[in-house]
Structures are given as C-alpha cells and as structure tokens.
Structure 1
Amino acid sequence: MSTTFIHDNFLLENKYAEELYHTYSKKQPIIDYHNHLPPQQIAEDAVFANIAKAWINGDHYKWRAMRTLGINEQYITGSASDKDKFMQWAKTVPYTMRNPLYHWTHLELARYFDIYDLLNENSAEKIYNETAEKLSLNEYSTRGLLKKVNAELVCTTEDPIDTLEHHKKLAASDFSVKVSTAFRPDKAILIGNAGYNDYINKLGEAAGAEINNYADLCTALRKRIEFFHQNGCRLCDHGLDQIYFEDFTENEISLIFWKKRENKELSSEEVLKFQSAVLLFLAETYHEFGWVQQFHLGALRNNNARMHRILGPDTGWDSIGDYPQAQKLSAFLNALDSKDKLAKTIIYNLNPADNEVMATMIGNFNDGSIRGKVQFGSGWWFLDQKDGMTKQLNALSNMGLISCFVGMLTDSRSFLSFPRHEYFRRILCNLLGDEIKRGELPADMEWIGKMVSDISYNNAKNYFDF
C-alpha cells in the first residue's frame, strides 16, 4: 500500500469495503443536485489565477478554522495578497486534524492536482506554485474542473428575480455537464426581514407586474416559477430555521401584507402566519409543476452581530440551532398530503439531536406512489463530515430504507469541493463493509454493491426529472 496519506483505500478498512467502493461506487458519475456555484463562472468557463481564488475565497469553513487559530482577518477576507492568504491557510491545515477540513484539503489536492504531499508551512510554497501552473491550463477552467470529477449534472441555486442568463447560455452551449438551477424564494417568505419591501419591488419588476396585495405576490411568484420551469428548473430549495405552520385566513394574510407594504409594525404571530401561507402556496405550486422541494432546516444564522455588520451574511458566523421541528413539519406535510399536493420532498437536518425525528417523519408520507418520495437528506453544513454522515446513514437505515436514499451533494460554493462525493461514498462503503465483516450483513457483494451504486448515483438519476 502507498505510504501517502491519501491512497486508494483511504477510509476503507477491509476487503469488503474496498470491493464495494472500487467496483460499485468509484466510477459512478456525480449528480450534484444542490450547490451554490456561481453559474456565471461556468458559463464564461472562468480560469482561476491561483488556488487561493479557487479554494479560499468564499469558503467560510476555512475562515472559521483560521480565525480560531488566531489569524488576522486581513489574511481571511481582507486585503492581503492571494499568496499570503494561502500561506496562512497552509499554516492552519496541520491544526485542523480531526476536522473534516483536513481530509477534504488533501483529497482535493490529490484529485484535482495529483499532489499527495501534506499541506503545511514547509510545503506551502511548492504547492502554491505547482497549483498555479496547473490552474493556467485549459483543463483547469471551471468546466474542466467539473469534467475532471466526472460530474454529470450540477444544480446551482438562484433567487426568483434572477434572469437565468447564464443558465440560458449554458443550455445553448456544447458543455457536456448539464447545469440546472433551483428556485430559492426565501426572501419573499421572510416578511420580518429588513429590506423586505425593497425585495418585493424587485420581484415585481422581474415578474413584469406591480405587487400591491397578497394576490399579486402569489401571481408574481407563480410567474417566476413558470419562468424557471421553462428554463429547465425542476426543484426548489429553502433554507429555514424550521417549517412554519400556523392557522390563518386569507383575509388575515391580505391584511398582514398590506400592513407590511405600508411599513407598519407586524407582530411575531402575524409574521408566522404570513410565512406559513406563502410556504403552503409555494409547496402546492411545486407539486403542480412536478418539482422536488428541498428544506434545509435548523441553522442559527448571523450570531455575531458585530462581524455581520462588517462582513455580511454567509461569512462564517452561523451555527446549529435547537428549534422544535416535529409538530410543525408534520402539520405542513400533512396539509399538503391531505390535498394530494405533496411534491417529492427532501428534508435536511442540521441538529443531530433531530436525526431520528427526521428519519421517522419521512415514513409518515412515503405513500407507495413514488420510490423514496420523501427523503431524509444527507448530513449538511456542520454535519457533512464522517461522524455526521455516519449518524445520518444509521438513523435512516434504522428507521427507513437506506436503499432508497438519493445520496450526497456538495452544498458548496467551491469548484474544488466535489471530492466530498468520494468522501461520502468511501464512508458508506466502509460502513457496509464493516458490517459484512462482523457478520451483520451477508457477503452478498452483488446485491449490496447494487445498493451502493444506487445510493451513489442511480437513485438520484431516477428521482430528479432533469
């Protein structure tokens, strides 16, 4: 076996795990059905000048680690040169042992750049220069990077007001990787947020209509769903603390929206009623269009008010929340199912204390109409690491059918993040291989291998209507 840290059997602890990964999983194409890649960079086939631009810019996972080590913000989001930022990241890497960043860093160096050296202060200069040289080659453009990891489809995430101009350009191109989009209308739902009325004005402009009342808002959102659908969109995504479900009347919602448009103060009860109404309207519309709806639940965002003022959202100041999830989520899904308007649904959980809640919730609404209609999504954000993914896989296995699982996604802004699919696949194969070794599963490699292939690729291929 190779003496390098990243080797062929990395994370694979026995012959069964090795066979499952190398025979049934490794060569499967990647369907990355949720990420935050900038479609403009794919459409323009952008080239990164150096690894800092491709790897550190926008990566709040790395930023949090660097801050914890005591590195000044100028080397993270500030004015330091790209090379200096990379050098500070290289200094940080040895301190990230047992954080998934350590594994991801070395997997990404290996898979994209064929670099198997450990990244640290001593190797940083050499690695910076070697990656810069390779990034100048055509095969390392954004499209080249996606081809390099055998991506078949990537699905970015756009606001309803987006023109989708870059997706249109990609659809008309000869790029072999399909690039689609997901509809993310949270700004239209969260009526208590600052700037809500300004956003509604922009939504009206995008829809080509003034939004003066709640009916106008629903019409505008439907128009944007139609526009996204016409441009290949087949799924939505919501990033919410929890599902909203309060009793309301149409008159109440109309009055609440009018009050907001008149810049009047809303009570917390009014906010929750309105958010419930819009979410239900959207969910019924998704069902009508045959979309998959995704809900990322449980993040406690923008905890550090001082740094949020300085740097804005999505810069590394979020954490796991401990919101109550079960009752409202059940009522929401039940309300849709009662009307036979429940779309295919994926629920992502950020609080591991709620894993079993989510794993059992999906069973309430898997009605036999579609294989794996309601899914417990892969561990995400703080949980897309070995322990978090294993706990999600175990909860789903114990209380549902892991064989129907649609597998991994990156949920990332980085073009170098796709080895997370490999990471997930190795963890999956090792979990199963270990149970075969212990006699908890039969050594039926053909059947278990088929299950691995399905989770790695086939289930997602069949679930999403692209």
Structure 2
Amino acid sequence: MTFINEDFLLSNDYARELYHQYAKDLPIIDYHNHLPPSEINSNRRFKNISEIWLEGDHYKWRLLRANGIEEKYITGEAPAKEKFMKWAQTVPNTIGNPLYHWTHMELLRYFEIDELLNEESARRIWDTANERLKDESMHAQNLLIKSKVEFVGTTDDPTDDLSFHASIKKSDFPIMVAPSFRPDNALDIQSEAFNDWLIKLEEVTGINVDKFHSFLGALSMRIEYFNDHGCRASDHGINVMFYEEGSEKEVSDIYEKSRRGCVLTEKEVHQFKTYTLQFLAEKYYEMNWAMQFHLGPLRNNNTKMYKQIGPDSGFDSIGDQLLADPLSKFLDSLEIKNRLPKTILYCLNPRDNYILATIAGNFQDSSIPGKVQFGTAWWYNDHIDGMKNQMSILSNVGLIKHFIGMLTDSRSFLSFSRHEYFRRVLCNLFGKWVENGTIPPDISLLGRYVEDISYNNTKRYFNL
C-alpha cells in the first residue's frame, strides 16, 4: 500500500467531509490544456507507459536532468523501457516535489497500482502498466471518460484547420473538445519566423496580408472560424507585459517596416503588440470568450539545449520583469471603451500574486461574478504551497467564492488527477480555517463554495 489513501491531504474531519461529500464526484471542466486534438480524435492507443507518461512532459524531464540522467534517456533515442527505468530510479529522489504525489496518484487512479515506484518495483510496474494499456479503457478517449471530464479546451494556433475538433464533434464521443485561440505567433513581430507565419495565415484565409488592415482582417476571420468550432477562450503567453500606445497609422507603418525585413525598436514592437492585442481583445468581447494571460516566464535559458532540442523542453524558468503598470494600463484601455472581455490572469512569479489579485479587482462588473479572474497557481506554483498561497491571497483581497479553479495545462492524458489534488488542497484549506476558528463550521455553506470552485463557476464562466 502507498500513502495515497482516501484521506490523502485531508487533515481533519471538516476537510474530509467537504472532499468526500462535495468535491470527490464532481465532473471536470479542463478549460486550458495542451492535449493534442489529433490524439483524441484518433483515440490513441499507447504502446507502453513511457509513451503515455514521459512523452512531452518537461516537468519530469527537468527532474531527470537534476538527477544526473543522460539526455538520451530523456528526449533522446533510448528504448522506451530504459527511459521508464530511469524515471523509476529518479522518483524516490522527488519527495517534496508534486511529481512524487502525481506519479503515485496516476499509478493508482489509472493503473490500479498501489505501490511505490522505485528501482525494485520498476520492472513489475512496467509489466503491469503495459498489460493494462492493452485494454480499451486505457485508450485516449476512454481515459477522458474515466476521468469524468466534460470539457477539454485545447491550445491551437490561429492557422490550425481544426479538422480534428470538427471530426470529434461529428462523432459520438460525449465530451466537448473545443479549440482555444493562441495567437502568440501573430504578436511576435520581432521574430525571424514572423513573415513565415504570415504565409500560413494567408494560405488559410486567402487574404493578402501585406497591409496591416488586411492582417487584422485575416485574424478576425480566424476568430470567427474558431468561434464556429466551439471556441470559448483565447490564450496568450506573455513573457514580458507591454503597453505602448500608437495610432493605427503608426502601427501600420511598423508592420510594413517589419515586412520589408527592417529591424524594429523596442518601442515599435510594443506599439504593434499593444494595438494588435487590443484589437483581438475587442473581438473576444464580441464573441463572449475568456481572454487568458499567462504572464512572466523566462524561456529557453539554455542555448545549447535549445539548439539541440527546441522550445518547451524543460529549460524555462520564472522571470522577474515588472508587470503591474503595463497590465493595468492595457486592461484599462479596453474598459474605457466597455470592451474588456472576461479575463483570467496567471502569473509565474509568486511575487506577483497580490498584484494580479488586486488588479483583477479593479475591473469587475455586473456582467458575471468574477469577470476578471486571478487564475489558479500555474506551472512552478501548482503544488500544495502554491495552491494554498494563491487561494489565500485571492480570499484576502477578493472573493474566492467566484474562483473558477483548476486546470491541467498539460500534454498528458493522465494529468486529470491534478484536479483531485487541487480539490483535496482546497477542502483542506477550508478545513484548517474552520479548525483555526477563522470561518464557521457550516459544512453546508462551505460545501457550496467547494462545489462552485471545483465545477459550477467554471461551467457558468465558459457558457457550458
């Protein structure tokens, strides 16, 4: 038996009652993840546990490297079984990291394996897990059903054709799989790849985008296309927040300057990004989408490994650029025109938690409770301490009652156990507050909080 028992993370009777009576059996709305829609559509069959567990998981890759494992066993050409054995060798060294919990929760919840993963148990677990993967219940679509998922929000470039989403919708698959509009490439005007990306935009829209107004028209067309395919949200990865006002004429000139291959100044880049993102945000408002800002990563820090493997490979960390002033000004520029969409703000640097929580409070209105959200603990913060800190800060300066809760932000079909993890942390937080005498022991009242944060608020926020 492992330590993942019925009352895992639940430290008192209040927490246990809240979890088991109100949170445990609720469905999951996973409104932001990176699951490949192609794999959902094809109902992917996984050959072995390495495929389903280690492919694309830069969380695990970082810990493998920290444990001194050679890259060939991480992203290289080593056989799948050898990669799994290296992960099994690493897991006993991960105590204190959420991956120690997630690893054993996933083994238990999906494979019914209730033992610790280590070098001694590795071969036995490899064989048992791989045998279970042969069962139809472990194919991609059935894993979502097993996890009680109702909605999946994937992450998609504006030039994606969304054919897999359309195919899923036409099938008898009971879970809604919707695209999310991720136009980072459209804002990345300083990138060497910007003009190449514009060629893709021209191909999918049939619009010549040599001029800025036609570029905006093409983006507008893609927003409508995504909306027709069930999109509920946009998503923006913003390393450094920006705000620099510019007229349409100024930004048009900047765009055409870039098209000619000229180098832009930092001010020009920020003017282009600000104007374009304002345009997009107003379109999101028209569509009643939520606009997500993931703020503050410092990406691709290891140049050697970036050249060898590419982005999203486990070499990103927390940035420390200031964001309060430009973020507030950007949101205000939309609010002035009554065109601010529902907005979710996530920060990677926990230093900024109070900043985002208080900025969110500046732009609430009567259209929906919690219109501007201080988003759940993200990436390097989605552990027990990070979740407790994020929810405590939200409670201190806002209304946690309207919080839309957890998401996986993951590429793994096994990561939905993180919703269970979050719900246990949430219930234990409330249970501790009751025990400390800071909130009343009204289980009915607190149960409504738990149900809303875990499910109801999200369902309402995304119009599901």
Same fold by TM-score, threshold 0.5 exceeded?
Answer: yes
1:414 corresponding residue in structure 2: 412
The 5 Å alignment of 1:34-49 reads 34-49=32-47
1:257 corresponding residue in structure 2: 255
How far off is 1:276 after superposition?
Answer: 0.9
Q: Deviations over 1:2-52 (max 9, x none)?
A: x53100000000100000000000000000000000000000101100010
1:219 corresponding residue in structure 2: 217
Matched pairs, number:
464
SS in 2 for 1:158: coil
How far off is 1:294 after superposition?
Answer: 0.5
Cα distance in 2 for residues equivalent to 1:233 and 1:442: 40
Letter of the aligned partner of 1:292 in structure 2?
A: A
Q: Deviations over 1:248-297 (max 9, x none)?
A: 11111111111111111111111111111111110011101111111100
Cα distance in 2 for residues equivalent to 1:430 and 1:256: 52
Cα distance in 2 for residues equivalent to 1:277 and 1:414: 35
Q: Deviations over 1:107-151 (max 9, x none)?
A: 111111111100000000011111101111100000111111111
The answer to whether residue 157 in structure 2 is matched with residue 159 in structure 1 is yes
SS in 2 for 1:441: coil
The 5 Å alignment of 1:164-179 reads 164-179=162-177
SS in 2 for 1:323: coil
Q: Deviations over 1:176-222 (max 9, x none)?
A: 11111100001000101121100011111111111111101100000
2:203 corresponding residue in structure 1: 205
Cα distance in 1 for residues equivalent to 2:240 and 2:266: 15
Letter of the aligned partner of 1:70 in structure 2?
A: G
SS in 1 for 2:179: strand
Aligned partner (choices 350, 360, 364) of residue 352 of structure 1: 350
How far off is 1:244 after superposition?
Answer: 2.0
How far off is 1:156 after superposition?
Answer: 0.4
1:331 corresponding residue in structure 2: 329
Cα distance in 2 for residues equivalent to 1:369 and 1:461: 15
Cα distance in 1 for residues equivalent to 2:167 and 2:463: 21
2:126 corresponding residue in structure 1: 128
Cα distance in 2 for residues equivalent to 1:117 and 1:433: 28
SS in 1 for 2:172: coil
Letter of the aligned partner of 2:122 in structure 1?
A: A
How far off is 1:409 after superposition?
Answer: 0.1
The answer to whether residue 444 in structure 2 is matched with residue 446 in structure 1 is yes
Cα distance in 1 for residues equivalent to 2:204 and 2:317: 33
- Report the RMSD for the aligned CA atoms in angstroms: 0.8
Deviation >3 Å, runs of 4+: none
1:367 corresponding residue in structure 2: 365
Cα distance in 2 for residues equivalent to 1:408 and 1:105: 18
The answer to whether residue 420 in structure 2 is matched with residue 436 in structure 1 is no
Instruction: Structure 1: give runs of 5+ residues left out of the alignment.
Output: none
Q: Deviations over 1:163-185 (max 9, x none)?
A: 00000000001111111110000
TM norm structure 2: 0.99
SS in 2 for 1:348: strand
**Are the counterparts in 2 of residues 243 and 332 from structure 1 also a CA contact under 8 Å?**
no
Cα distance in 2 for residues equivalent to 1:234 and 1:33: 9
SS in 1 for 2:76: coil
Cα distance in 1 for residues equivalent to 2:450 and 2:192: 45
1:273 corresponding residue in structure 2: 271
How far off is 1:242 after superposition?
Answer: 3.3
Aligned partner (choices 425, 428, 433) of residue 427 of structure 1: 425
1:342 corresponding residue in structure 2: 340
Letter of the aligned partner of 1:132 in structure 2?
A: N
How far off is 1:243 after superposition?
Answer: 2.9
Cα distance in 1 for residues equivalent to 2:338 and 2:5: 49
Letter of the aligned partner of 1:282 in structure 2?
A: L
1:399 corresponding residue in structure 2: 397
Cα distance in 2 for residues equivalent to 1:143 and 1:367: 38
Cα distance in 2 for residues equivalent to 1:456 and 1:264: 49
How far off is 1:70 after superposition?
Answer: 0.6
Cα distance in 2 for residues equivalent to 1:208 and 1:114: 51
2:141 corresponding residue in structure 1: 143
Q: Deviations over 1:390-443 (max 9, x none)?
A: 110011000000000000000001111110000000000001001111211111
TM norm structure 1: 0.99
Cα distance in 2 for residues equivalent to 1:156 and 1:225: 15
Cα distance in 2 for residues equivalent to 1:126 and 1:42: 29
The answer to whether residue 188 in structure 2 is matched with residue 187 in structure 1 is no
Cα distance in 2 for residues equivalent to 1:116 and 1:440: 37
Cα distance in 1 for residues equivalent to 2:241 and 2:350: 17
Letter of the aligned partner of 2:291 in structure 1?
A: Q
1:30 corresponding residue in structure 2: 28
Cα distance in 1 for residues equivalent to 2:282 and 2:381: 30
Cα distance in 2 for residues equivalent to 1:168 and 1:242: 34
Aligned partner (choices 53, 56, 68) of residue 58 of structure 1: 56
1:376 corresponding residue in structure 2: 374
Cα distance in 2 for residues equivalent to 1:317 and 1:137: 35
Cα distance in 2 for residues equivalent to 1:192 and 1:264: 10
Cα distance in 2 for residues equivalent to 1:209 and 1:247: 27
Question: Percentage identity across aligned positions?
Answer: 52
1:244 corresponding residue in structure 2: 242
How far off is 1:241 after superposition?
Answer: 1.4
Aligned partner (choices 11, 14, 22) of residue 12 of structure 2: 14
The 5 Å alignment of 1:277-296 reads 277-296=275-294
How far off is 1:99 after superposition?
Answer: 0.6
